[in-house]
Chain A
Amino acid sequence: MIRPGDWLRRYGALLRAAWLQDLQYRASIVLWLLWGVTEPAVALGIWWAIAADGPVQGYARADFARYFFALMLVNQLTIAWDSWYLDSWIREGELNFRLARPIHPAHEAVAENIAYKARTAGMILVVWLIVAAVWPAVRLPFGAGRWALTAAAVLLAAAMRFLISFATGLLAFWTTRATAIMELHAGIALFLSGRLAPLALLPPAVARVAGFLWFPYMLAFPVDLLTGAVHGAAVVQGFAGQVVWLAVWVGAYRLAWTRGLRKYGAVGG
């Protein structure tokens, strides 16, 4: 039986290793960050042009600015590259030594995510603060309660996106196109998770379909919480959706992991 203190020590070591590894590649990380923010920046540019003649369904230019700045931050805090890692781990046999360790490989991945996100989201926050100093449109009203709720929603969303990415990466046990499936997922998420536009601006039927799936809970819901666009019962509903879909993806991950390992014939030495 492992005590909680041991877990703290283990995570301490994993986080330290991940942080130092990232430090080596800090220039590369800045480039990935840049790549991550151009899509919302371009989307903001287009909506900015469209909203020139007045608000679009209640969204004025400043609302778009706040929405996409919040989206950049939340997206960076919840993004997970794990399918690409797992795909190469499984295909090139790098999973072998990770399986031989006395700790589940997922913990290494979680630690890497925390280190990466702390660094990149920190950079976005600093840039946001500088921009907010000169551009009032992107300032957010301070509300301790709302920010605490946002933090919880971001955590749930990050956990869910991690599990989606990890579980999909595990498909590499069966197929060589696991990352293509993840890209397909990202393409659908462009619309249904709110990366392209606030969900209210999608055709109503599409927005309704999105509501039955996990996509809005990985991005749009925490973003709306941060900008103050959801209130009352919708907040409770949002958290309920997050918890339910998180549970579903935990199940999917466990199924893929146990079935996959049985199927796995190690490659490489």
Chain B
Amino acid sequence: MTIRIPQSAIRILLALWRLNVAEELQYRANLVASLLGTVFWIVTALLTLAVFFRHTTRLGDWDYWEVVVLLGVFNTLTGVIEAVLRPGIGRLAGEVKNGGLDLVLAKPVDAQGFVSFRRLDVWRFTDVVLGLTLAGYAMYRLGRAPSPAQLAAFGVTLAAAVVVVYALWVALMSLAFWFVSVENLSVLFDAVYEGARYPVSAYPGALRFVFVYLIPIAWTTTIPASALTGRLVPGYALVAAAVAGIAFALTRLLWRTALKRYSGASG
């Protein structure tokens, strides 16, 4: 398995994104809509927590503001998903079905890279900003200033989380090569990811095992939030990085295998 990133790939991506941004700038009202949507989501999530915390003081041994830090991480990742993954690789299932993938494969670029990063919904990056702001505010309310080691661990685990989320998308969307008629595969991600809104320690043991080892969403929100609040020994960030590396390698392999099944559908 080799991953070559030729300079031309970067040039192509930059050109695609430039066009993309120019196009999106025409629809500036979408910025307001996107912001309102995110604020509404955050308010809903905070009210949800408020309902739970009326009846308890801790959730899976996390207190209120610690869970809010986790919500901030969740929202940050939502921003990455909505800005990059859903508009890019999220469209794969439809293209496998109607043969649109032919046009991608005919291009002299790495198909997985092109499919994954071809489009940006730039306005949704506001979710990243708001998510990090929320996490920061929750840290302030906790009265904890993270040490440089904790901040570094947070950076590493958050980057690992992005890779794990990406790997999950590739794995799910690769199913399209086997189940051609299923166009709404991305719904499967939404269903699974719903579980990442709360610390995994809140769930029963069996589910916790699934979320850590099988569908690794524990690594997407619980671990970065733990790193920031100091629940995680900073050194464990390296484990997260290793998990991300393994997840990425496995999905790259899966993509290769899946692609062999594709025989084209347009024409």
Contacts and interface: CB of A to CB of B under 8 A. Distances in A.
Chain B associates with chain A: yes
Interface of A: 24-25, 27-28, 31-32, 34-35, 38-39, 42, 45-50, 56-57, 177, 180, 184, 187, 190-191, 196-197, 201-203
A28 B33 CA distance: 29
A31 B185 contact: yes
17 contacts: A28-B184, A31-B187, A31-B188, A35-B187, A38-B191, A39-B194, A47-B52, A48-B204, A49-B202, A50-B56, A57-B55, A180-B33, A187-B41, A196-B48, A196-B51, A201-B54, A201-B55
Interface of B: 33, 37, 40-41, 44, 47-48, 51-52, 54-56, 59-60, 179, 181-185, 187-188, 190-192, 194-195, 197-198, 202-204, 207
A241 to B, nearest CB: 23
B52 A50 contact: yes
B194 A46 contact: no
A15 B54 CA distance: 46
A28 B198 contact: no
A22 to B, nearest CB: 12
Contacts of A191: 47-48, 51
Contacts of A56: 55-56
B75 to A, nearest CB: 15
B197 A49 contact: no
A34 B187 contact: yes
A31 to B, nearest CB: 5
A201 B51 contact: yes
A49 B60 contact: yes
B203 A197 contact: no
A34 B182 CA distance: 14
A46 B198 contact: yes
A187 B45 CA distance: 10
Contacts of A24: 181
Classify the secondary structure of A's interface with B. helix
A202 B55 CA distance: 10
Contacts of B52: 46-47, 50
Contacts of B48: 190-191, 196
A201 B51 CA distance: 8
A34 B55 CA distance: 28
Contact of A202 (B51, B187, B188, B190): B51
A177 B33 contact: yes
Contacts of A49: 59-60, 202-204
Contacts of A50: 52, 55-56, 59
Contacts of B183: 28
Contacts of A196: 48, 51
Nearest to A51: B55
Given A38-B192, A180-B37, 8 more contacts: A31-B191, A45-B202, A45-B203, A48-B204, A49-B60, A49-B203, A191-B47, A196-B51
Contact of B204 (A34, A45, A177, A190): A45
A187 B40 contact: yes
Contacts of A190: 44, 48
Contacts of A31: 182, 184-185, 187-188, 191
Given A49-B202, A184-B40, A187-B44, A42 B51 contact: no
A203 B198 CA distance: 22
B174 to A, nearest CB: 15
B93 to A, nearest CB: 10
A197 B55 CA distance: 11
B4 to A, nearest CB: 35
A31 B192 CA distance: 11
A32 B48 CA distance: 23
Contact of A28 (B47, B181, B194): B181
Contact of A25 (B51, B181, B195): B181
Contacts of B181: 24-25, 27-28
Nearest to A47: B52
